[in-house]
Structure 1
Amino acid sequence: MNPILSLLGRRLLTAWLLGSSLAAWAADAMPSPQDSPALARMAHSGRIRVGYIPTPGTFAFQDAQGQTVGYSIDICRRVIDNLRQRLGRPDLTPEFLPIKASDRIPMLKSGAIDLECGGNTNTMARQKDVDFSHTFFNTGLRLLARKTLRINRVNDLARKRVAVTGGTTAEERFKKMQMEVGVQVVVVASDAEGLSALEDGTVDAYAQDDVLLYGLMATSRLKDLLAVTGPFMTVEPYAFMLPKDDRLLREVVDRTLLDLMRSGELLSIYRKWFDGERLRIPMSIYMKENIRFPNKYGIP
């Protein structure tokens, strides 16, 4: 064979293969709505709509400058950095939207938000409608009350008025306890409303995951009179909530979390928000195990 023709053939083959690879990469980098409705929206609009339930001082909230910050928001921003690379859109801009707990699943299903980055408990019932990331925090349901209220066991709540936020696992648990021990359940719209009801004496206690209660107590005008009390009544594995069956988005989120766990950066983010001067909540053994053995276990 003519060596010139042979060289030309190799170059043409290389060019063809390179072109095919670039075309495949471009097709992969710009997913179609069938592959990933969420990523397709982001690629088209240049923005990502991130929902979160406001949890003052902890997972997701607005600071004094009006910026959305918090433990889960720090993690979410790492996800957004990886999405920028995945989509080839360094200009991808987050739009953080405070929402109610009862709205997060309907908004994900309708495409009104692309991701929920607050503190969401992974439950088997919710898994029917949405997907979850790897667990990034563990907590459990307890009570915020005045120090004068002694709650050592569930039966101590008989005839007590307890506020819960609608659409949460706390509401589900206390609706059952309403029949079991005679607790009076008061449904509120948010953590802030629950704290206000406790401060005003409208309720005897506010039920929520203990880490959120510590954050609320730190912001209360009556913080020296309040305490997080009572036994753990649930186990709550927190994860990001994602649109159902959006594999490409789920892969980016999960890879981000696994990288943070393996590098040790997740420990630094935890200490920043939960083990410093304002809050002193040492990392639990359950949280440490989640980092060692990443999982997506949902509770019944």
Structure 2
Amino acid sequence: MNKLVKRMSLLGALLISMIVLSSCGTREAAHQSVWQHAKQTDSITWGVKADTKLFGLMDVKDSKIKGFDVDIAQALTKKMLGKNGKANFVQVSSQTRIPLLKNGNIDAVIATMTITPDREKIVDFSNSYFDAGQSLLVKKGSPIKNVKDLNKTGTKVIGVVGANSVENIQKFAPKASVLQLQDYAQALTALKSGQGQALTTDNGILFGMAVDNPDYRVVGGTFTKEPYGIAINKGQGEFKSNINKALHEIEADGTYNRIIKKWFGNIAGFNYKEVER
């Protein structure tokens, strides 16, 4: 029995050591110069969503993630590293994007991420690359026309875990209850099954849902301002400066507006001219 206890104790100690060493390695990777590593490897690894039509959605035909965020990341990579620069993509969600960034699994997050004071305490952001605003998606014929209509006891609003849209609803419609789900696919399914009267997030994301679901529409305009930024780890000033420089360049040479028009130019109800630069 004593031998067994000793063996178990030794095994436990070894496992703890492995975890500690692994986490130390991850922390070290996260604090290395991302920009120097990008230049050495001619590549940047971006965290993007794969469940958000128009911004980042997995194409089942070729298993590639496609969308506005992906195209912007590719354009920035070429500006920063030259024509041979490679943009690698890792799928993230609203709740995994910051942990993956902090752990050094990705170099930057470009995933419909609003710049907020709370997030700026944890990560750094580039300049805004897309000016969104929070809105509502409802079934056609719904009595809900704007966010004020949600402020009734018994009204249920659907949101996504890790998105600041949930907090905003609690501010604008405190009497409503919020059902939080893990991703936008689950949230849309919940809306269709009647688990809530409205789904809330940024207008660009909602318009993407409405494209594939003509029985639903975006209502109420926008009731918040949601500037999207590219998130990077703290202490990566050189990398941040190069992202901002590249962002300015793709805006100046027309690349940005071409990508905007590609993804939003034909979306009914969405005025892409308002987000051109």
Query: What TM-score results when the alignment is normalised by the length of structure 1?
Result: 0.74
Equivalent AA in structure 2 for residue 230 of structure 1: G
Asked whether the 8 Å contact 2:136–2:201 carries over to 1, the reply is: yes
d(CA) in 2 for partners of 1:279, 1:176: 29
d(CA) in 2 for partners of 1:78, 1:155: 40
Which range moves more in the overlay, 185-194 or 33-42?
33-42
- In structure 2, relative to structure 1, the CA distance for the partners of 1:263 and 1:46 (3 Å cut) is closer
- Are positions 1:166 and 2:166 aligned together? no
d(CA) in 2 for partners of 1:123, 1:284: 25
d(CA) in 2 for partners of 1:236, 1:109: 23
Report what 1:24 is aligned to. none
What is the aligned counterpart of 1:38 among 11, 34, 39?
34
Report what 1:282 is aligned to. 271
Q: What is the root-mean-square deviation of aligned Cα atoms in Å?
A: 2.6
- Are positions 1:123 and 2:116 aligned together? yes
What is the aligned counterpart of 2:232 among 234, 242, 266?
242
d(CA) in 2 for partners of 1:154, 1:34: 40
d(CA) in 1 for partners of 2:155, 2:63: 37
Asked whether the 8 Å contact 1:82–1:252 carries over to 2, the reply is: no
- In structure 2, relative to structure 1, the CA distance for the partners of 1:43 and 1:260 (3 Å cut) is closer
Aligned-residue sequence identity (percent) comes to 24
Give 1:232 deviation, angstroms. 2.1
> Does the residue aligned with 1:118 lie in a helix, a strand or coil?
coil
Equivalent AA in structure 2 for residue 202 of structure 1: Q
Residue deviations 1:152-199 (CA, integer Å, cap 9, x gap): 343321122111011111111123456x3x212000111111111111
**Superposition pairs of residues 90-105 of structure 1, within 5 angstroms:** 90=84, 93-105=86-98
Equivalent AA in structure 2 for residue 216 of structure 1: M
Unaligned runs of 5+ in 1: 1-32, 292-300
- Are positions 1:271 and 2:261 aligned together? yes
Give 1:230 deviation, angstroms. 2.3
- In structure 2, relative to structure 1, the CA distance for the partners of 1:35 and 1:185 (3 Å cut) is closer
Asked whether the 8 Å contact 1:54–1:118 carries over to 2, the reply is: no
Residue deviations 1:132-167 (CA, integer Å, cap 9, x gap): 122121121111111121223433211221110111
Unaligned runs of 5+ in 2: 1-28
> Does the residue aligned with 2:256 lie in a helix, a strand or coil?
helix
Give 1:46 deviation, angstroms. 5.9
> Does the residue aligned with 2:53 lie in a helix, a strand or coil?
coil
Asked whether the 8 Å contact 1:273–1:279 carries over to 2, the reply is: no
Report what 2:138 is aligned to. 145
Residue deviations 1:196-253 (CA, integer Å, cap 9, x gap): 1111222211101111101012123xx2x21111242211111211122311211221
- In structure 2, relative to structure 1, the CA distance for the partners of 1:233 and 1:185 (3 Å cut) is same
Asked whether the 8 Å contact 1:145–1:204 carries over to 2, the reply is: yes
Residue deviations 1:49-92 (CA, integer Å, cap 9, x gap): 2111234331112223222221121110022223434xxx94x5
Asked whether the 8 Å contact 1:166–1:189 carries over to 2, the reply is: yes
> Does the residue aligned with 2:71 lie in a helix, a strand or coil?
helix
Report what 2:6 is aligned to. none
- In structure 2, relative to structure 1, the CA distance for the partners of 1:78 and 1:57 (3 Å cut) is same
Asked whether the 8 Å contact 1:142–1:209 carries over to 2, the reply is: yes
Aligned length: 247
- Are positions 1:58 and 2:54 aligned together? yes
> Does the residue aligned with 2:110 lie in a helix, a strand or coil?
strand
Report what 1:18 is aligned to. none
> Does the residue aligned with 2:200 lie in a helix, a strand or coil?
strand
Asked whether the 8 Å contact 1:55–1:212 carries over to 2, the reply is: no
Asked whether the 8 Å contact 1:52–1:116 carries over to 2, the reply is: yes
Larger radius of gyration: 1
What is the aligned counterpart of 1:136 among 123, 129, 136?
129
- In structure 2, relative to structure 1, the CA distance for the partners of 1:162 and 1:280 (3 Å cut) is closer
